[in-house]
Amino acid sequence: MAKGLFRSGMIVSAMTMISRVLGLVRDAVVANLLGAGAAADVFLFANRIPNFLRRLFAEGAFAQAFVPVLSEIKQQQGDDKVRLFVAQAAGTLGTILLVVTIIGVIASPIIAALFGTGWFIEWWQGGPDGEKFVLASSLLKLTFPYLFFVSLVALSGAVMNVYNRFAVAAFTPVLLNISIIACAILLHDKFSVGAYSLAIGVFVGGVVQLLFQLPFLYRAKMLSKPRWAWQDENVKKVRKLMLPALFGVSISQINLLLDTMIASLLMTGSIAWLYYSDRLIEFPLGLFGIGIATVILPALSKLHSSEKSSDFQHTLDWGVRFVIFLGLPAMIGLMIISPLIISVLFDHGAFSQGDVDHVQAVSLGVMAYSVGLVSFMLIKVLAPGFYARQDTKTPVRIGIITLVLNMVFNIMLAPFIGYLGLALATSMSASCNAYLLYRQLSKEQVYQFSRFSLLFTCKCLLAALLMGAVVWYAATQFLWRQWHFSEQVVLLIGLLALAGGVYFLVLFLLGVRLNTIKNVVSAQSD
């Protein structure tokens, strides 16, 4: 099982890396075409809302409720029952999503007014920023249907993951990025406002992702005619688990959306700065945190169904150890070299225009988000410890507490340091979330952070700090802001190689070996 988890985690991480790299290319294209001004703010706003709903309903709550039930059916009743359940879930979820999508498209002005309050007020009063509200309403009509398609994609991906076919679901987001990039390049000159081409790319991306996964479902013999089954026993179980999970699993997304609402009241560029900052954080988070979370939930669900509590504990401890191993150097590395990364990725075209130093603004946002990077990752690992046991009530309670704390932190910080206060508040609330999840798992005697993992964490922290010191010193020896793009790329690659070399060398000298990371039951050596 140990080798299987590690291998599956690496497969998901590799596929996710391709997706994230293309995601950064996509963001570079957006930055080049729209910069960090009004058009960028509006498009990112219109794209964030369906993405928020996607993570909340589909990839978030639904997946966390669906996978444990599906694993249980597969373990106890066999593939025929699984096939029926998938058809029932697809028919029930698809019908609800279709209704929600239609309502969302029709009510796009109301949604834009609700979540872009500052723009709506400007439009109502005839202010200069009123055009942002009008554009946001129009773009939402194009981006909102993405929710329908990608939610069905998430369902299909969950089925694939339960059958240990992780690569399919992990690769699928690549197609969204390709669609947005292609539409941006091909259609940008067709519209007076380039943001429309990006919105069309989002719509096309949703369709393409769903079409891509259907053959794999067919090959797995899981593609059957959807059925409405609202009252089915297993569907009702998913519904029961899903409702509280709406807050528990996606609390960070709610926080980001609240940040967007408040940012619409701040100076122009705030939403874009937060978005680009968040995108850089999402790269290591998706690469490592979500990669491990994807494979650990089916494994934990299976162990819970088999009543193997000791293996459950060791698997969770391995997941925590893995994200700490990769999360600490990623956190410190981003804090140090984020200005160079931002300059390479985004500082071109419209992004580099104007009197505002967008590179500096985004890099400060990255630093604020980086404070909570390890916490973001730990949430992705600790939350499945509840969902695998079909306990969604505890995370919702913790999620509500975290949501309130985030708003308190926003109110405390945003008036003084603007968008940086929003980013820092998100990091602080994530740290509280991770701590409360762990405390409850420990209290229920489900998971206890092992002495082995504590020692391992200390070694990783020491190695990450030494890595950070070496990279910081190396980076300060060059006036790279004055360099050409190709020279900056070479320097960035060199610094990343130096960071990796120092980190792994220090860990090796401290006695950490590959088996230390791969082995799920290393904690038994205490």
DSSP one-letter string for 367-383 = HHHHTTHHHHHHHHHHT
Banded model confidence at residue 507, pLDDT cuts 50, 70, 90 = very high
**Per-residue model confidence as pLDDT tens digits over 49-90:** 777 666 665 556 666 677 778 777 877 777 778 888 888 888
Q: Which H or E run includes 327?
A: helix 309-346
Q: How far apart are CA 83 and CA 165, in angstroms?
A: 16
Look at residue 174 in the predicted model and tell me its pLDDT. 84
pLDDT at 521 over 60: no
For 492, the token pair is 């960035």
Confidence at residue 370, expressed as pLDDT on a 0 to 100 scale: 93
Q: What is the 3-state secondary structure (H, E, C) of 174-196?
A: HHHHHHHHHHHHHHHHHCCCCHH
Q: How confident is the model at residue 7 (pLDDT cuts 50, 70, 90)?
A: low
Span 360-364, mean pLDDT? 87
What pTM was estimated for this model as a whole? 0.72
User: Which SS3 state, helix, strand or coil, does residue 154 take?
Assistant: helix
Distance CA 494, CA 497 (A): 5
With a CB cutoff of 8 Å and minimum separation 6, the contacts of 395 are: 244, 245, 247, 248, 249, 383, 386, 387, 437
Taking alpha carbons only, the member of 302, 329, 313 closest to residue 438 is 313
Residue 265's pLDDT band (cuts 50, 70, 90): confident
- Residue 255 is predicted with a pLDDT of 64
Left, alpha or beta for 417 (phi > 0: left; psi -120 to 50: alpha)? alpha
Query: In the Cβ-directed half-sphere of 172, how many Cα atoms lie within 13 Å?
Result: 28
More confident residue, 6 or 366: 366
C-alpha to C-alpha distances, 425 to 118, 352, 410, 413, 429, nearest whole angstrom: 20, 28, 6, 7, 6
Residue pair 93/147 in contact by the 8 Å Cβ criterion: no
Q: Is the pLDDT of residue 517 over 80?
A: no
Q: What is the pLDDT of residue 510?
A: 92
Residue 157: which of 253, 60, 254, 225 has the closest Cα? 60
Q: What confidence category does residue 354 fall into, taking pLDDT thresholds of 50, 70 and 90?
A: low
pLDDT value at residue 18: 77
CB 269 within 8 A of CB 358: yes
Round to whole Å and give the CA distance between 403 and 420: 18
State pLDDT tens for residues 10-36: 677 677 777 777 777 777 777 777 665
Which is more confidently placed, 312 or 78?
312
